[in-house]
């Protein structure tokens, strides 16, 4: 047994308060989420991709063969960390569950990470093994990783040949419910990445709480979406939740809005997970694809502006299910089931979770008062050997870094990330609120708002805007947008500077990269930001 993860957990007094769960002491989540379906769903499609379809029985066999390769060929012992590197495909899912079943610890990485970023993760988690799509091998090979001893690729025949030589049976490792099985690295923009450690029980907890009690899928659902499986939003929404009920996961290696909409129609998907900007783009071209198979649509990753909610409902008749989650919490912890959705509000605590709004001194503030969001429940933050644990967990509560207020009915309303609040001339201005006002103007396709330093006002609101075709990028449009914002929200919140672009910089998961917008804002002669070549 490799005790690295156990040895590098925070001290118990720095953990959040965790809700006890009725799971048995010895638990392997791969058995519960995959093998359990072999009893009644063996021949039901588990994973559907453009290149192959695997039933639960076929997927389980591939998982077992990979697990045998890991243990017999590569000497994996429970607790070893295994880096996974791939786009969303069937081999990625099989590799993920093989590591879990063998008692290893998954460290999944975004496909676009470069050698320097991979090296930070490999060294921090002392990773010894890696399974990698051959198309992404170059950056991994260039990463500085002194502990990495074993690398196998699929897609070039290497892992496939080794799997063919292994038996299709594998006895799951005898793991405990509180053994670490996943280290999810945060997608922070600066500083050393933080590794969040999650247990076997946590993987089931998000299924039994958010999925079962808010999303409420059935075995006949077909899940689809855009987030990478290395992002815990994608892991839950595209793999764990469907497998928990014996449903089908439809996986796309690329899922920009146009391709996602086409795939929804082609595969008759019923549940979709993606970011707000994707729903806005698909709504604008809803007449080009048959989206009638959808019955649930989940929006997360960033704030859901009300204009996007309304645009999606207008063309599909569906209410977007907004939600906020965190890598530290594994998945969504505030949301609302369809019948309780209120446009503009993020929602209510997911059953099993508690949430409150606290002031600077850590005490709860009155309803309607902005403050910091604090949450606790069955999942919570446990950073890998990181002093920042004490910032995130305070007095047993997870302090997520988000500013919210709670209304008189108990609904939570997002204001901004704590570091996205703009203080201008003494006023607190939430960047997402200004973005929402801009998006309600017919000329605006995308909007990102940041604050930049100003001698007179401290900070000034700067808007970065992508216009729909045929709208001019000129002073007239700028004034029209400024006047529009003044008519929607308090006039002091209007953007005093507007910059036009062809696209806005975003992460692989669709999050707006505000740090990139701040750099553009500070460059007097900054050229409009261009999308990188695919």
**3-state class of 229 per DSSP?**
coil
Tokens matching residue 293: 């198979």
pLDDT tens digits, residue range 357-405? 999 999 999 999 999 999 999 999 999 999 999 999 999 999 999 999 9
* Residue 46 is assigned to a structural domain of this protein: yes
Last residue of a domain, one of 200, 232, 255: 200
Query: 471 lies in which domain range?
Result: 425-522
- The total number of residues shown for the chain amounts to 534
pLDDT band, residue 233 (cuts 50/70/90): very high
Pairing of strands 397-406, 412-417: antiparallel
- Of the given ranges (7-21, 426-440, 460-474, 515-529), which has the lowest mean pLDDT? 515-529
* Residue 53 is assigned to a structural domain of this protein: yes
* Residue 461 is assigned to a structural domain of this protein: yes
Can you list the pairs that 132-139 forms with residues at least 24 positions away whose Cβ atoms lie under 8 Å? 132/83, 132/84, 132/85, 132/86, 133/85, 133/86, 133/87, 133/89, 133/91, 133/92, 134/158, 136/85, 136/86, 136/87, 136/111, 139/113, 139/114, 139/115
Query: How confident is the model at residue 425, as a pLDDT?
Result: 76
Contact 158, 137 (CB under 8 A): no
The mean pLDDT value of the chain amounts to 93
* Residue 260 is assigned to a structural domain of this protein: no
DSSP conformational letter for 329: T
Q: What are residue 376's DSSP bridge partners?
A: 354
Distance CA 430, CA 435 (A): 9
Distance CA 402, CA 417 (A): 4
pLDDT band, residue 189 (cuts 50/70/90): very low
CB atoms within 10 A of CB 121: 20
SS (H, E, C) 6-65: HHCCCCHHHCCCECCCCCCCECCHHHHHCHHHHCCCCCCEEEECCCCEEEHHHHHHHHHH
Integer Rg of the chain from CA: 23
Distance CA 238, CA 223 (A): 6
Last residue of a domain, one of 200, 235, 270: 200
Q: What domain count does the chain have?
A: 2
Residue 36: HSE in the Cβ half-sphere, 13 Å Cα cutoff: 15
Q: Which of 40, 34, 37 is nearest to 67 (CA)?
A: 34
The answer to whether residue 525 scores a pLDDT higher than 70 is no
Can you list the pairs that 146-153 forms with residues at least 24 positions away whose Cβ atoms lie under 8 Å? 147/122, 147/123, 148/83, 148/122, 150/74, 150/75, 152/69, 152/74
Query: Which position has the higher pLDDT, 259 or 529?
Result: 259
Q: What is the CATH number of the domain that holds 494?
A: 3.30.300.30
Contact 485, 494 (CB under 8 A): yes
Task: Report in angstroms the alpha-carbon separations of 271 from 89, 182, 274, 374.
Answer: 18, 25, 10, 29
Question: Residue range 100-104: average pLDDT?
Answer: 98
Last residue of a domain, one of 181, 200, 219: 200
The answer to whether residue 473 scores a pLDDT higher than 60 is yes
Distance CA 351, CA 503 (A): 38
DSSP conformational letter for 314: H
* Residue 210 is assigned to a structural domain of this protein: no
Q: What are residue 323's DSSP bridge partners?
A: 335
Tokens matching residue 252: 């796309």
Task: Report in angstroms the alpha-carbon separations of 155 from 89, 134, 350.
Answer: 11, 5, 40
* Residue 265 is assigned to a structural domain of this protein: no
Q: What is the CATH number of the domain that holds 103?
A: 3.40.50.980
* Residue 474 is assigned to a structural domain of this protein: yes
Q: What does residue 111 show for φ and ψ, rounded to 5 degrees? A: -60, -30
Residue 22: HSE in the Cβ half-sphere, 13 Å Cα cutoff: 3
Distance CA 43, CA 58 (A): 8
Tokens matching residue 281: 């783009």
What is the pTM assigned to this prediction?
0.86
Distance CA 137, CA 118 (A): 12
Percent of the chain with pLDDT over 70: 97
* Residue 517 is assigned to a structural domain of this protein: yes
Distance CA 474, CA 461 (A): 18
Tokens matching residue 274: 């993606």
The answer to whether residue 529 scores a pLDDT higher than 50 is no
pLDDT tens digits, residue range 172-187? 999 999 999 999 998 5
Question: Residue range 338-350: average pLDDT?
Answer: 96
The answer to whether residue 118 scores a pLDDT higher than 90 is yes
Q: Where are the alpha helices (DSSP H) in 72-186?
A: 90-101, 115-124, 137-142, 158-164
CA 141 to chain centre: 26
């Amino acid at each position: 047994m490799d005790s690295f993860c156990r040895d590098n957990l925070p001290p118990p007094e720095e953990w959040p308060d965790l809700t006890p769960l009725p799971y048995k002491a010895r638990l392997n989540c791969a058995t519960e989420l995959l093998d359990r379906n072999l009893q009644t769903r063996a021949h039901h499609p588990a994973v559907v991709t453009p290149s192959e379809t695997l039933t639960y029985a076929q997927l389980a066999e591939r998982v077992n063969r990979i697990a045998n390769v890991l243990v017999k060929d590569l000497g994996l012992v429970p607790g070893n960390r295994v880096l996974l590197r791939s786009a969303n495909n069937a081999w990625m899912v099989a590799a993920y569950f093989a590591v879990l079943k063998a008692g290893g610890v998954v460290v999944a990485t975004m496909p676009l990470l470069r050698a320097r970023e991979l090296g930070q993760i490999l060294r921090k988690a002392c990773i010894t093994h890696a399974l990698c799509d051959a198309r992404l091998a170059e950056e991994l090979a260039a990463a500085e990783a002194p502990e990495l001893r074993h690398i196998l690729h699929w897609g070039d025949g290497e892992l496939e040949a080794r799997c063919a030589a292994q038996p299709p049976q594998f006895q799951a490792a005898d793991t405990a419910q509180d053994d670490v099985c996943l280290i999810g690295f945060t997608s922070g923009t600066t500083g050393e990445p933080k590794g969040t450690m999650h247990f076997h029980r946590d993987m089931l907890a998000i299924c039994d709480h958010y999925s079962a009690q808010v999303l409420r899928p059935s075995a006949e659902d077909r899940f689809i979406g855009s987030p990478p499986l290395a992002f815990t939003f994608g892991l839950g929404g595209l793999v764990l939740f469907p497998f928990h009920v014996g449903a089908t996961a439809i996986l796309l290696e690329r899922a920009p809005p146009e391709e996602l909409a086409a795939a929804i129609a082609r595969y008759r998907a019923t549940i979709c997970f993606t970011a707000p900007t994707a729903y806005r783009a698909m709504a604008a071209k809803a007449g080009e694809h048959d989206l009638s198979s959808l019955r649930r649509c989940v929006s997360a990753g960033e704030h859901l502006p009300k204009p996007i909610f309304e645009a999606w409902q207008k063309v599909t008749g569906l209410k977007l299910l907004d939600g906020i989650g965190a890598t530290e919490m594994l998945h969504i912890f505030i949301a609302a089931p369809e019948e309780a959705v209120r446009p503009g509000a993020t929602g209510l605590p997911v059953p099993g979770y508690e949430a409150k709004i606290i002031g600077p001194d850590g005490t709860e503030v009155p309803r309607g008062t902005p403050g910091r969001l604090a949450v606790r429940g069955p999942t919570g933050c446990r950073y890998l050997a990181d002093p920042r644990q004490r910032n995130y967990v305070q007095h047993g509560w997870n302090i997520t870094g988000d500013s919210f207020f709670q209304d008189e009915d108990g609904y939570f309303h997002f204001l901004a990330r704590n570091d996205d609040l703009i203080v201008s001339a003494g006023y607190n201005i939430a960047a997402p609120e200004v973005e929402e006002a801009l998006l309600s103007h017919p000329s605006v396709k995308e909007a990102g708002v940041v604050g930049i330093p100003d001698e007179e006002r401290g900070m000034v609101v700067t808007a970065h805007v992508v216009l729909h075709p045929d709208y001019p990028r000129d002073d007239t449009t700028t004034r029209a947008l400024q006047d529009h914002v003044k008519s929607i929200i308090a006039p002091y919140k209007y953007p005093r500077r507007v910059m036009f672009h062809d696209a806005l910089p975003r992460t692989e998961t669709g999050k707006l990269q505000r740090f990139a917008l701040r750099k553009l804002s500070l460059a007097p002669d900054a050229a409009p930001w261009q999308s990188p070549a695919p």
